């Protein structure tokens, strides 16, 4: 099992804390999911106040603050520093948006912000694309984890480019990789783990489901199934049929 900046997680599910119908449902969904990490934005915590923060602490999970909503390096770095003081952790999910409609990361500013924060002692979890060169630049900037998107945030489309994600897994075999964004169904989460990814980060798929608690449980089961399938070394896909019953011992009638 890979560690995230030296921390081993009891569960490969990372779950967001925004958009739930109520704090009570958020708490139930978290407990049902078994998630080991809660992602929290500084803006969300400020809006919820001490009651929200106390509830998150009572969950007993690792906190991953994020820089959601930031669009330039200065804004992201400032938000990260504020989050470190509020949440008392060096972990930061670095989210630096470059495109309004797709919420695609601005990878040029992302690398620069990652370098600044890494040099300042942050343990950066960068929300990035599935581009191998960008991944290399982020690792060179000090990141020890990569979080490529599966699809645009909140889209629920699953893994838009499984080929690129598979290539990233092969290119960085020793780097902890997390699918972040785009997961809509448990099957999407299972697919991510079947590709050999180390964790899945999601929010909207659970928070905005008709029954967030039930969906949280479904995601937990899917991630476990996908992880077990990858570890079991599944068969390769074939273009042609291959008989499952051998011909040895078969009777031949003349």
Neighbours of 44 (CB within 10 A): 19
Q: Which two tokens stand for residue 61?
A: 């999970």
The span from the CA of 151 to the CA of 205, in Å, is 13
Look up 250 and say whether it is catalytic: no
Q: 51 Cβ partners below 8 Å, 6+ apart? A: 23
Q: Catalytic one among 2, 74, 93, 144?
A: 93
The span from the CA of 63 to the CA of 173, in Å, is 26
* Long-range pairs for 113-121: beta carbons < 8 A, 24 or more residues apart: 113/73, 113/76, 113/77, 113/80, 114/138, 114/141, 114/142, 114/143, 115/141, 115/142, 116/73, 116/77, 117/77, 117/80, 117/92, 117/142, 118/142, 118/143, 120/81, 121/90
The span from the CA of 42 to the CA of 192, in Å, is 28
Please state the separation of Cα 164 from the chain's center in Å.
Answer: 16
The span from the CA of 121 to the CA of 188, in Å, is 34
Name the residues annotated as catalytic: 93
């Amino acid at each position: 099992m890979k560690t995230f900046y030296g921390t081993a997680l009891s569960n490969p599910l990372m779950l967001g804390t925004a958009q739930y119908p109520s704090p009570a449902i958020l708490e139930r969904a978290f407990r049902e999911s078994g998630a080991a990490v809660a992602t929290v934005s500084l803006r969300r915590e400020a809006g919820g106040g001490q009651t929200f923060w106390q509830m998150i602490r009572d969950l007993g999970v690792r906190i991953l603050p994020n820089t959601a909503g930031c669009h330039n390096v200065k804004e992201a770095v400032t938000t990260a520093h504020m989050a470190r003081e509020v949440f008392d952790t060096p972990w930061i999910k670095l989210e630096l948006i470059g495109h309004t409609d797709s919420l695609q990361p601005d990878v040029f500013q992302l690398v620069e912000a990652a370098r600044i924060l890494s040099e300042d002692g942050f343990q950066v979890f960068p929300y990035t694309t599935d581009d191998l060169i960008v991944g290399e630049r982020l690792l060179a900037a000090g990141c020890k984890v990569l979080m490529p998107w599966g699809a645009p945030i909140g889209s629920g489309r699953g893994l838009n480019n499984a080929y690129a994600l598979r290539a990233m897994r092969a290119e960085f075999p020793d780097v902890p990789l997390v699918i972040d964004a785009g997961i809509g169904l448990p099957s999407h989460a299972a697919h991510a783990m079947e590709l050999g990814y180390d964790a899945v980060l999601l929010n909207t798929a659970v928070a905005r489901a008709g029954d967030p608690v039930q969906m949280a449980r479904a995601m937990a089961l899917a991630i476990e199934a996908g992880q077990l399938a990858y570890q079991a070394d599944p068969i390769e896909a074939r273009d042609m049929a291959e008989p499952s019953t051998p011909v040895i011992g078969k009777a031949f009638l003349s």
